[in-house]
Structure 1
Amino acid sequence: MARNPKKKNRSKAAKNRQNGSSSEATLAPAATRVWQPGVDGIEDGEELQFDPSAYDCLHAFQLGWPCLSFDIVRDALGGLRSSFPHTMLCVAGTQADVAANNAVVVVRLSNITGMKRKQPLGGNDESESDSDSSDEDEDITTEVGAIQPASKNPVLQVRMVAHQGCVNRIRAMQQQPQIVATWADTGYVQVWDVGVHIRSLSSGSAETSTGLSSIVRQAPLQIFTGHKEEGFALDWSPLVPGRLVTGDCKSFIYLWEPSEGGRWNVENTPFSGHKSSVEDLQWSPTEASVFASCSIDGTIAIWDVRSRTQAAISVKAHDADVNVISWNRLASCMIASGSDDGIFRIWDLRSFKDDSFIAHFKYHNAPITSIEWSPHEASTVAATSADNQLTIWDLSLERDAEEEAAYQAQLEQKQAEAPEDLPPQLLFVHQGQKNLKELHWHPQIHGLMVATSGDGFNVFRPSNLDNLAAS
């Protein structure tokens, strides 16, 4: 039975919506304001600055080559964590200059520290601040870490496993996080066991404690060559361990079923029905036999694994390519979709038909490159776009001008002035990364997000997400 997201009546006041960058003149004191790429210019003597108060933490790291797909690996450190410092595991796939230089990268980032900041308005809990840092510590920027005191830099550890060809997409199995599937630009889908590398990183062995490592060679558990062209769509079932679907640029979708000996049986007959490339796949969080797909043909389809010749439902969802979809795991009647024209939409599967979307957002001015619902808040969704913005939206927000004015009057200093035409549901804007490709919420750390782009990774937690949890 699908569960509706809870409704809240909160304003879009600054306490509930923040922006990770602002523009401030260096020649004369002037009010700060939110800067919008593609809309605002940068004048002589003007520079962009991020607002530290907008983040509980903000760190950056690189892995040598761009990694345009990654996945967060579930760990054994706790089901839901909030107190700094944090440790996280992830897997990523490189886009190297030549095929032979590519790798599956296993990453452990530890000592993820929080921002040192003044006491928040009306609060007295200092557990989330980086209280051990000294105001006199020298601020530095390194390959690992944003502007943080030198003693508080995160520790990056990696293991690199040779991978033939660029990695189009990579996903870790939820039930067995050491099992990873990759889509290569060679047209092959491969499954890997990276457990030995996760254990090596967790043990803190000397050869992995200082950053990037040499590439090791390892045979994949299985290689599937049945796709006739490369692809990007890939998803593990959250309900049936080892069940996998993969979709290619020829419009075909294949079902993988686990078998004995750590192998998979891939069905000979693909799911067919899309008229063009399958761009993304998502399993239902509540029905083991059901998954969704989206395509360049502009449609979203719902499939049952017991029927391969025709989708159970197919809906014309966008007027442009549908690049990405996300199935809400907390409100299973909801699917979000993002398209090539910068639009993303929210759909209710209980009334799923053409033009039946329940929300439509045209904020981004370039293709949506990823979209994902929060694992901890049913009404919150995040998206990345080729306009170099990552946005977080709370679909339950409504504007309350009186509440905004009352909250602003309590602040010690005036916040950056946001454009009046911003949607009330827009909760946060993160900027500073170029060629944003993919984002993920950490499933075990409240509010922590990771985003990858052409110039590396950002790990951050917006400071206003705590307001959601407390509401």
Structure 2
Amino acid sequence: MPRNPKKKKGSKKSKGNKTAAGPSALEHEPAKVWQPGVDGLEDNEQLQFDPSAYDCLHAFNFGWPCLSFDFLRDELGLVRNEFPHTLFCVAGTQAGEAANNSVVVARLSNITGTRRKLVPTNPEEEDDSDSSSSDEDDETGSVSNLKGPALQARLISHQGGINRVRSMQQQPHIIASWGDNGYVQVWDMSAHLRALLTADPSVSNGLSNVFRQAPLHIYTGHKDEGFSLDWSSVVPGRLLSGDCKSAIHLWEPTADGKWVVDSKPFQGHRSSVEDLQWSPTEPDVFASCSVDTTVGIWDARRRDGMVLSVKAHDSDVNVISWNRLASCMLASGSDDGTFRIWDLRAFKEDSFVAHFKYHKEPITSIEWSSHEASTIGVTSADDQLTIWDLSLERDTEEEAEFQAQMKQKVEAPENLPPQLLFVHQGQKDMKELHWHPQIPGLLMSTAADGFNVLKPSNLESLNTS
């Protein structure tokens, strides 16, 4: 259902908001925006998917839940706006038995969709039955029932569940995995990517048999499992891994394709290191967050502690994201459901530039858009994926103009933050989201019941060439 637009600060350009789902309403009555965690449902009510809220929406899974995934950069074009799309990704499974886990390298092709207008100019443009935008008949989201896109996946055996998986930006076939057995491994997936590139989707659609191969490097020096892992975007091959015992280890690449891991960890946090992020511009600077409620800034050349440490939240800091388009901005998400935006030029306690308390459960993932410096995506244990544009502010005149163009009037809650641009639901126990680095406005999210690929229709500036 549509929500009122907001105006970008310093701009005449507006964006319309649409909820991802809401209860049905009679046409002669004003539509109401249903608020997750606030509004309840009667026994005879159920949420209905609104296809007009998406340019595309597809679901799939790999047979087991995946806590983590990453997009693989490809050579299909740096900025791609036209459907159908193709994407490559890597994921790590959490199987019921340790021996059944895999690193999954996948190709999803023929991702169909429709670029929609925020306010249709005539009824014929209201395409509310676009079969390429969703798979409403597929209740399981299984590979065998997936309509539209073709999924091809190569499974590589991995001993133990995978807490986090990351692809090196400069060499996307190089993958790092953080296992729940306490080992960090680096893999060369080039052979599997070549096989996916040459395979015919109409012939080899689905999951492969499990392949067995040795990792390029395995590090067993962590004292416990961990969840934090990040490749440097400035220095190819440089890697950080952090564990639940508060230790951070630096990996340096060698000329023979291996890594030297410093056995002496960076120490400064008092509890588990939950996330790590290299600076997008500085080769030796990285950020960390911890269960000890702090966010720290480090210099990799120093071993005497953090350069800066700030109490960022009142509870565990689960995730951070460094803005690659505005490198002075850092975002942090907490166990109490809040997330904050920090300006690193004035980084100190209570100096955050924005604080949002919308989600009702812990923040599980946060990431700045790859193509819009003011846009950020968030997932939470409350089963919501939200998209925020920090440049938006409420504009009553423009809201009234937008409402006048709508066929059906909308009663939007006044207490919703003006920066809240989109709410996506339908997945259970959301874990991680990423923006595609080469397809503006396209996101993917993983949850206990599988993956969603989506492109909201109101990310206007991200949907234009």
TM-score (norm 2): 0.91
- What's the secondary structure of 1:346's corresponding residue? strand
Tell me the amino acid that sits aligned with residue 141 of structure 1. D
1:45 correspondence with 2:39:
no
Moved more, 341-350 or 40-49: 40-49
Q: Is the 8 A contact 2:118 2:457 kept in 1?
A: no
Identity of counterpart residues, as a percentage? Answer: 66
Alignment of 1:244-323 (within 5 A): 244-323=239-318
Structure-2 residue corresponding to 1:402: 397
Q: Is the 8 A contact 1:382 1:393 kept in 2?
A: yes
Alignment of 1:68-467 (within 5 A): 68-115=67-114, 121=120, 140-141=137-138, 153-204=148-199, 209-415=204-410, 417-467=411-461
Change in CA separation of 1:449 and 1:369 when aligned onto 2, cut-off 3 Å: same
Tell me the amino acid that sits aligned with residue 64 of structure 1. G
Tell me the distance in 1 between the aligned counterparts of 2:45 and 2:36. 14
CA offsets, 1:54-92, max 9 Å, x none? 100000001100011000000010001000000000000
Q: Cα distance, 1:144 vs. partner?
A: 5.7
Change in CA separation of 1:406 and 1:255 when aligned onto 2, cut-off 3 Å: same
Structure-2 residue corresponding to 1:22: 22
Give unmatched runs, 5+ long, in structure 2: 1-7
Tell me the distance in 1 between the aligned counterparts of 2:299 and 2:369. 25
Q: Cα distance, 1:133 vs. partner?
A: 7.6
Q: Is the 8 A contact 1:116 1:131 kept in 2?
A: no
Q: Is the 8 A contact 2:186 2:215 kept in 1?
A: yes
Tell me the distance in 2 between the aligned counterparts of 1:202 and 1:408. 47
- What's the secondary structure of 2:103's corresponding residue? strand
Change in CA separation of 1:412 and 1:312 when aligned onto 2, cut-off 3 Å: same
CA offsets, 1:35-55, max 9 Å, x none? 233222211221101211110
Q: Cα distance, 1:408 vs. partner?
A: 1.1
- What's the secondary structure of 1:80's corresponding residue? coil
Structure-2 residue corresponding to 1:8: 9
Tell me the distance in 2 between the aligned counterparts of 1:202 and 1:431. 32
- What's the secondary structure of 1:223's corresponding residue? strand
Tell me the distance in 2 between the aligned counterparts of 1:132 and 1:398. 32
Give unmatched runs, 5+ long, in structure 1: 1-6
TM-score (norm 1): 0.90
Q: Cα distance, 1:413 vs. partner?
A: 2.9
What's the RMSD between the two structures over aligned residues?
Answer: 2.9
Moved more, 249-258 or 202-211: 202-211
Tell me the amino acid that sits aligned with residue 453 of structure 1. A
Count of matched residue pairs: 454
Change in CA separation of 1:338 and 1:410 when aligned onto 2, cut-off 3 Å: same
Q: Is the 8 A contact 2:22 2:50 kept in 1?
A: yes
Q: Is the 8 A contact 2:103 2:155 kept in 1?
A: yes
Q: Is the 8 A contact 2:68 2:165 kept in 1?
A: yes
Q: Cα distance, 1:12 vs. partner?
A: 11
Change in CA separation of 1:119 and 1:246 when aligned onto 2, cut-off 3 Å: closer
Q: Is the 8 A contact 1:22 1:32 kept in 2?
A: no
Tell me the distance in 1 between the aligned counterparts of 2:215 and 2:107. 21
CA offsets, 1:322-357, max 9 Å, x none? 000000000000000000000000000000001110
Q: Is the 8 A contact 1:187 1:229 kept in 2?
A: yes
Q: Is the 8 A contact 1:236 1:245 kept in 2?
A: yes
Change in CA separation of 1:206 and 1:24 when aligned onto 2, cut-off 3 Å: closer
Q: Is the 8 A contact 1:84 1:130 kept in 2?
A: no
- What's the secondary structure of 1:451's corresponding residue? strand
Tell me the distance in 2 between the aligned counterparts of 1:34 and 1:133. 24
CA offsets, 1:127-148, max 9 Å, x none? xx999989xxx974376699x9
Q: Cα distance, 1:8 vs. partner?
A: 3.0
Q: Cα distance, 1:121 vs. partner?
A: 3.4
CA offsets, 1:379-432, max 9 Å, x none? 1111000001111111010100110001110123334x3322000010111111
